[in-house]
Every structure is written in structure tokens, then in C-alpha cells.
Structure 1
Amino acid sequence: MRSILPRLRGFCERLEPWSYLLLRVAFGLMLMTHGLPKMLGRSHGSMADPMAGSVHLIGNVLHLPAAPAIGWFVALLEGVGGLMLAAGLLTRLVAPMVVVQMLVICWLLAPTFPWIDRGFEYPLMLFFTALLIAARGGGRASVDAWLARRA
């Protein structure tokens, strides 16, 4: 494939094997920053108690039963699941759950599209990133690949 900027071709070819690894690790670590404050009872950005905010949203806005249990599931998915995605462990199990979570968040925020109004561009991009990870799996540099080589 010919490059538009031929001088960048070598750089891009060297970067390509690392790009998916970097994307997966960055995505997982970023996801962790949303789950850990919930699990540890710490403030997160403008939210003094993100777990209480999540439970309120799940119970009072979505009207789902067992809001505290679902809140803990979301916190574990983001915190522990984020770490698992960063490491590339059970990626094809964890990533589809994140896909569903991001779709729900997009649906909830759909009336306010622009991110300046707390819109859904950010979770929409996370949806597509999680979808890519679900489709590709952990990749060559992952715990999943290491376990497959050992088996």
C-alpha cells in the first residue's frame, strides 16, 4: 500500500504492531479510572460519591431492580474489567460487556449529543473501541495469547 507521505511509511510500519496494544492498554486503564473510585468510595471528578450516583441512575432513572448489585457489577466491570482489558486477559468475555454498557450510556445521553453538554460522543467512541477489542481479542501481546501459546 502506497503512503501519501512516503517518508512516514517506515515509521507507520514500525508503529503498526504496537498500535493495537497501546489502544487496548489505554482503553483498559482509562476504564479503570471510572471503576476504582466507585469501588473505593472516592470522589471522581465532580462526583463526590460515584457509586451513589450510579446506583441512583440505575434505580431511579432506569428503574431497574437490584440497583446496588448492578452498581457493583458496573464498578467491577470498569475497575477489574478495565485491568483485564489492559492486560489482555479474557478480552472476548469482558469487552462485549463494556460494549453493552457503552450502548446504554449512549442511549441515556442521546438527547444531549454535544460533549459540551455532557453528551454521548465519549461513550460512543468507547463503544467502538470496545467493539474492536471484542472482535480482535487480546492480540499478540496479551495474557490471552500467552495462555494460548502455553496450552
Structure 2
Amino acid sequence: MSVTTVIPANPLVSSYRSVTEALSPLADPLVRVAAGLALVPHGAQKLFGWFGGYGLEATGQFFATKLGVPASFALIAGVIEFGGGILLAAGLATRAVAALVVGLMAVAVVQVHLPAGFFWTDGGYEYPLLWAIVALSYVIRGGGRYSLDALIAR
């Protein structure tokens, strides 16, 4: 597997070149960690009722009555968001976990948010679509140099 060298673009202020060159390798892991950790509380809402969530039973009832999918899908969604978020943040099984997140977010867009339009503030699909695209980038590229996947591969 070849290693790709990222050449940062010229910074807006040329005197910041050394800072941008030093921090550039951290940009991708920063997004991966933030994306993974942003999923965790959503899974905790579904699984445990934390952060104002309803817990597994009530979420399952919502999935069955409002979405027309089996209540067991609440467990699947919660595990992907909670456990998958942790794994994505750590960069472990990155491609597989990111693929599960893409699938989950695609279902969320189509089944839940599409009828409400684009804007997240109106319950639209903007937020889950963004996370699906971010996750898709990790399906394509993997966890990168600063991931547990890379550490295991060494």
C-alpha cells in the first residue's frame, strides 16, 4: 500500500506556513474523531435514554409505529451510533464501521427526514446527509495514519 503525501495549500497568511504544514496531517483524524464522537450521544439516547433520549423500548416503539420498521432496528441503530461512533473515533475497523454509518444515515434521510425538507432546523435531512458523506469518505480512504487500524497494520 502506498503512502500519499499531502501537500498543504498555501496558507492565507504566508507567515503561518509552518503552522499549517505542521497541523495539516492532523486535519483528517480530527474530522474522523469528531464525527465518531458526535454519533455516540445519539446512540446513547436510543440505547440508554441518556441526553434526553427515550431509551431502547420507547425508541423501538417509535421505529415500529412511526417508521414502519421492526422495533429491533432501534437496537441496531443505537449500536451503530454508540459503538460505531467509538470505533470510528478510534479508527478501528474504520471502513466497515463507516459503511454501517452510511447505511444508517441513508435510511434516516429517506425514512425520517426527507419529508421535512433540507434544513435540519425543520427536521430535514441536512444533518444525516452530512454525516453520511463524512462517513463515506472513511469508507473510501480508511482510518488513515493516526488510527488503530494503521497501528495494527504495522
TM-score (norm 2): 0.82
Matched, 1:135 2:140: yes
1:44 to 48, 51, 56: 51
2:127 corresponding residue in structure 1: 122
Note the C-alpha offset of 1:130: 0.5
Indicate the larger mover: 3-12 or 130-139: 3-12
5+ residue gaps, structure 2: 1-7
5+ residue gaps, structure 1: none
TM-score (norm 1): 0.84
In structure 2, the CA distance between the partners of 1:120 and 1:53, relative to structure 1 (3 Å rule), is farther
Over the matched positions of the two proteins, sequence identity in percent amounts to 39
Matches within 5 A, 1:2-151: 3=10, 5=12, 6-40=14-48, 42-45=49-52, 47=53, 49-65=54-70, 67=71, 69-107=72-110, 108-112=112-116, 113-149=118-154
* Secondary structure in 2 matching 1:139: coil
How far apart, CA to CA, are the structure 2 residues paired with 1:115 and 1:35?
18
Deviations 1:57-114 (A, max 9, x none): 421233223x2x2111111111111111111110111100100111111122112222
4+ residue stretches of structure 1 with deviation over 4 A? none
Tell me the matched-pair count.
Answer: 144
Indicate the larger mover: 6-15 or 71-80: 6-15
